[in-house]
Amino acid sequence: MSDHNPESLIIVEAKRILFEAEAAVLENSAVLVDGETILAVDTPDKLMNMSNRSIPRIHLGDLTLLPGMIDCHVHLGYEEAQDRRSLMEGSTQQALLTALMLYNARKLLRTGVTTIRELGSSGQLGSTVRAVISKGWSPGPRVLAANEPLTTTGGHAWFLGGECDSVEEIRKAVRNRHKSGADLVKIMVTGGGLTSGSVPWLAQFSQQEVDTAVEEASRLGMPVAAHVHGTEGIAIAVNSGVTTLEHCTWMGEGGRIGNHLDTDVVQEIVDRGIFVCPTASSRWGTMDSERRDSKIRTVAIMHEAGVRLIAGTDAGIEHVPHDSYAQGLSWLQRCGMSTLDVLAAATSNAAESCGIANITGTLAVGKVADMIAVTGDPREDLEVLSKPVWVMARGKQVLDHNLVIFRPQL
């Protein structure tokens, strides 16, 4: 311990610690944090002896400590209450949008989400907001930013600024994302419901175009998240070897969810280890029951086939406020996933899908201290995740009321 600055050490102890979704809960354990990194895990007494000095301790009492949660699909720059028209017009007001994005980032953090994938915002605001948060100027989760999604001229979410229409333009667009500091590439392989004139069940890009995006992204070390609804677009994205499939509703003509589910393509998703983010969210609670049941059935089929599902809410779209993450988890459970499956989808599997399993998603020595504490046991009742009592992101405590960040007193 001698080479560690005592000022940066802190011990966090709790009645129960769930180090990772699939591990057993340990009773009366503790985590020693140095700056933003987990330095050791053991009993509180052993950690005190190891450090051989009086360092601050946070007693979480009768709470369960677990890894911070990950929302794999967020739009910080959308305002849930906004109508479609003002969303498109609002995309030109960059300063206002930046403020909105930081406001929404705070909301996510307060609900225990310590990492997000920002899957589409205007221009380069995603990576700008990531920089503001990582400099410590404003509280928020770790941001993996896609910046403006690749789409066709007038295609889904064109108003974010990512129009490109040929193999050459796609290659250039991917290089531009890399140049602007995006962490990953988002591509709208099919149309989407948010954009008037866009048809969700039809593919927007050809196989060759999506192949180019994936090849170029992989050359630059960037994962690819593919927005897909219709089966043709899903098959194209899977063939190209994208990293994650967003929504993946197997939509048939007229927008019927699950109508064109292709079991061969589902098997291909499993074989290639492609993650699916079905964007289960609070919005499901507002749908008519037929549509909702189709969603549940479709996700259940993928889950039973062995598809690795990850949690992401599409926060920012209608009926999905940025503080409703846990509602998405309960919808995943209603798709036949066990509470452990859902916890993995929200933590370890989500981290793996984002390429950051070496940093976060579990509580282990050497990883970043992203952790939350909840009352009760989330393995028995996921509902407890909707109200985290305590949140630590990158080694900093976040209090739930005013988001005051402080270093504990000795």
Between 76 and 214, name the residue whose CB sits nearer to Zn ion.
Answer: 76
Between 216 and 314, name the residue whose CB sits nearer to Zn ion.
Answer: 314
Counting beta carbons within 10 angstroms of the beta carbon of residue 178, is it exposed (0 to 12), middle (13 to 18) or buried (19 or more)? middle
Q: Which stretch binds Zn ion (CB under 5 A): 91-99, 109-117, 308-316, 360-368?
A: 308-316
CB neighbours of 86 closer than 8 A, spacing ≥ 6?
none
Shortest CB 315 distance to Zn ion, Å: 9
Nearest residue to Zn ion on Cβ basis = 314
Between 244 and 362, name the residue whose CB sits nearer to Zn ion.
Answer: 244
Between 209 and 314, name the residue whose CB sits nearer to Zn ion.
Answer: 314
Contact 88, 159 (CB under 8 A): yes
Q: Does 314 bind Zn ion (CB under 5 A)?
A: yes
Q: In whole angstroms, what is the distance from residue 202 CA to residue 232 CA?
A: 7
Alpha helices per DSSP H over 156-288: 167-179, 207-219, 231-240, 263-272
Q: What is the DSSP string of 168-190?
A: HHHHHHHHHHHHTT-SSEEEE-B
Q: Which stretch binds Zn ion (CB under 5 A): 38-46, 183-191, 264-272, 310-318?
A: 310-318
Shortest CB 206 distance to Zn ion, Å: 22
CB-CB neighbours of 116 under 10 Å: 33
Q: Which stretch binds Zn ion (CB under 5 A): 98-106, 138-146, 312-320, 341-349?
A: 312-320
Shortest CB 246 distance to Zn ion, Å: 6
Shortest CB 44 distance to Zn ion, Å: 43
Q: Which two tokens stand for residue 328?
A: 């998405």
Shortest CB 179 distance to Zn ion, Å: 23
Extended beta strands in 19-163, E state = 25-34, 37-42, 57-59, 63-67, 69-74, 113-118, 142-145
Shortest CB 277 distance to Zn ion, Å: 9
Between 13 and 314, name the residue whose CB sits nearer to Zn ion.
Answer: 314
Q: What is the DSSP string of 28-65?
A: EEEEEEETTEEEEEE-HHHHHHHHTS---EEE--SEEE
Q: Which two tokens stand for residue 119?
A: 């899957």
Q: Which stretch binds Zn ion (CB under 5 A): 183-191, 265-273, 286-294, 314-322?
A: 314-322
Between 225 and 385, name the residue whose CB sits nearer to Zn ion.
Answer: 225
Q: Does 79 bind Zn ion (CB under 5 A)?
A: no
Between 240 and 279, name the residue whose CB sits nearer to Zn ion.
Answer: 279
Contact 207, 168 (CB under 8 A): no
Q: In whole angstroms, what is the distance from residue 173 CA to residue 210 CA?
A: 12
Q: Which stretch binds Zn ion (CB under 5 A): 99-107, 313-321, 357-365, 383-391?
A: 313-321
Q: Which stretch binds Zn ion (CB under 5 A): 27-35, 101-109, 306-314, 373-381?
A: 306-314
Q: Which of 185, 319, 173, 315 is nearest to 243 (CA)?
A: 185
Q: Which of residues 15-74 bind Zn ion (CB under 5 A)?
A: none
Q: Which two tokens stand for residue 48?
A: 């005190």
Q: Does 80 bind Zn ion (CB under 5 A)?
A: no
Between 232 and 314, name the residue whose CB sits nearer to Zn ion.
Answer: 314
Give the DSSP letter of residue 408. Answer: P
Q: Which two tokens stand for residue 15?
A: 């009645």
Q: Which stretch binds Zn ion (CB under 5 A): 21-29, 213-221, 298-306, 309-317?
A: 309-317
Q: Which of residues 208-227 bind Zn ion (CB under 5 A)?
A: none
Q: In whole angstroms, what is the distance from residue 136 CA to residue 327 CA?
A: 29
Contacts with Zn ion: how many residues (CB under 5 A)?
A: 1
Shortest CB 295 distance to Zn ion, Å: 15
Shortest CB 392 distance to Zn ion, Å: 28
Q: In whole angstroms, what is the distance from residue 360 CA to residue 364 CA?
A: 9
Between 183 and 314, name the residue whose CB sits nearer to Zn ion.
Answer: 314
- Tally of residues, the chain: 410
Shortest CB 190 distance to Zn ion, Å: 12
Shortest CB 335 distance to Zn ion, Å: 19
CA distances from 379 to 207, 293, 371 (A): 42, 25, 16
Between 80 and 314, name the residue whose CB sits nearer to Zn ion.
Answer: 314
CA 340 centroid distance within chain: 18
Q: Which residues bind Zn ion (CB under 5 A)?
A: 314
